[in-house]
Chains A and B, each alone.
Chain A
Amino acid sequence: MAFAKQNPKIPEGINASSENPLKEFSILLGGVLLAITAVVALLLLFSHQLAPLIPFRYEQQLVSKFGQLRNNTENRKQSMLSAEAALQELGDQLANKSQLAPDIKLHFHLVDEADVPNAFATLGGHIFVTTGLLREVSSENALAMVLAHEIAHIKFRHPAQSISGGLLVQLFLSVVTGQNAVALQSTVQQAGIMTVLGFSRKMESAADRAALDTLEQHYGHLAGAEAFFKKILAQHRQASWQAIFASHPDMQQRIEQIKTRTQKSKTAATKALDPRLDYQNL
């Protein structure tokens, strides 16, 4: 075999294609964006079903700043601190009867807002109660009903559900882009999670039912449970109540449900409020 006299001319396009790279790029980019959009849409669509599956730990990490509120004790009155401790004790007793998932820890906070009787549950097992609510409740049973109701929200992961659309999308994007959770945390805080979360009517009645179960377990009866709710209804038209009613729709209907349950239960004396929780002492 003779040695070649010259190098052969190799046809182009075998090892490298002459196709415009923009074509491949746009197909790829379009495809990837489409896939991300589809996943985000699915997450938003099924967020309510998926939210309870988010580990509670993630919720706690997101709102880790709330914990600092507790530690900031210098500017708070001693009476407020002891009232908060009493609230935590009562809450923990109720929580033991609520069949919470083992990883859920509850934190109760007392907010100094005498004019607005309100209580709300938010992410990370944090429950906020205003001093205005303590002024309105007549017995421990009535307060326990409110607390049990908020505990039930956390048990059913309602706070996660109500913001889960955004939360899941953020989680997904942070996984895709490889960013850490710090950015995530700031977005959640920007979204103002500290404000009252909007729960649906279904969530509210589920929480009511669970709260009544808890009360029955704890006290053995349901006396006094509907007192606070009745009081709310009586003052329905007052402007200061609007905040509660925005998140607690169909109050009348809910009270009817609670009433039917309480009427079936045997009558018993209500328990007096812990003196530390007495509004006069705050």
Chain B
Amino acid sequence: MEALIKIGIFALLLGLGFFFGRRAEAKHYKSILSREDALRSLVVSTDRFPPPEYMNHHTELVSGNVVISVDYFKQVSAGLRGLVGGRIRAYETLLDRARREALLRMQEQAHAAGAEAIINTKLETSRISGNGNKGIGSVEVLAYGTALIPIHKNLG
């Protein structure tokens, strides 16, 4: 009986993780795709120096930061993967979402500042672990870069 209850709780958590995790992921991807389209003209580049046409622009640091939690289903799935090795697909989508969301937030900040492009973009990822590495972990992605803002716009 005790074992049955344990299995029941496990299955329930797994089901909740799968259902809500999947729903959140689908919703998030939909939002990412539409926002990426909206901000397509705000160019994000990894060039270290501004191109000649932006030489006289004013520069400003912009950043976007996101924290996404792993759900129970993903964690169990990755745990099973840990036994045999291979691509952890469950985490790949998570990091893909986090990275794109962070870039979008950076773009949104630059857009609000009136920027035309962002150069020298960098990405950083870190883990925010649950309690004593035993709880559900989460991932943080930070994107930052130099926004190029036309001087006339900045002057108003």
Contact = CB atoms under 8 A, between A and B. Distances in A.
A47 to B, nearest CB: 23
Given A16-B92, A16-B93, A21-B90, A4 B43 contact: yes
Nearest to A1: B51
A33 to B, nearest CB: 10
B90 A15 contact: no
A263 interface: no
B53 to A, nearest CB: 7
Interface string A13-56: 00111010110110011011000000000000000000000000
Contacts of B41: 5-7
B40 A31 contact: no
Q: Which of B47, B84, B95, B97 has the most CB of A within 10 A?
A: B84
A24 B93 contact: no
Interface in B81-98: 81, 83-84, 89-90, 92-93, 95-97
Contacts of A17: 89, 92-93
B80 A25 contact: yes
Contacts, number: 63
A28 B90 contact: no
Contact of A6 (B43, B90, B96): B43
Contacts of B117: 3
A21 B22 contact: yes
B-side interface mostly: helix
Contact of A15 (B42, B77, B83, B92): B92
Chain B interface residue count: which class? 20 to 34
Contacts of A24: 77, 81, 89-90
Contacts of A31: 84
Contacts of B80: 25, 28-29, 32
A32 B83 contact: yes
B47 to A, nearest CB: 8
Contact of A28 (B43, B53, B84): B84
Contacts of B39: 7
Interface in B1-50: 18, 22, 36, 39-45, 47
A25 to B, nearest CB: 5
Contacts of A28: 77, 80-81, 83-84
Contacts of B81: 24, 28
B73 interface: yes
A150 B13 CA distance: 51
Nearest to B91: A16
Q: Which of A5, A17, A19, A28 has the most CB of B within 10 A?
A: A28
Contacts of B76: 25
A267 to B, nearest CB: 61
Q: Which of B42, B54, B90 has the most CB of A within 10 A?
A: B90
B84 to A, nearest CB: 7
Nearest to A8: B40
A21 B96 contact: no
Contacts of B95: 15-16
Contacts of A15: 92, 95-96
Contact of A3 (B53, B73, B77, B93): B53
Given A21-B74, A24-B90, 17 more contacts: A3-B51, A3-B117, A4-B43, A5-B41, A5-B43, A6-B41, A6-B43, A7-B40, A17-B89, A19-B89, A24-B77, A24-B81, A25-B73, A28-B80, A29-B80, A31-B84, A32-B84
Nearest 5 A/B pairs, CB to CB: A3-B51, A16-B96, A28-B80, A16-B93, A15-B96
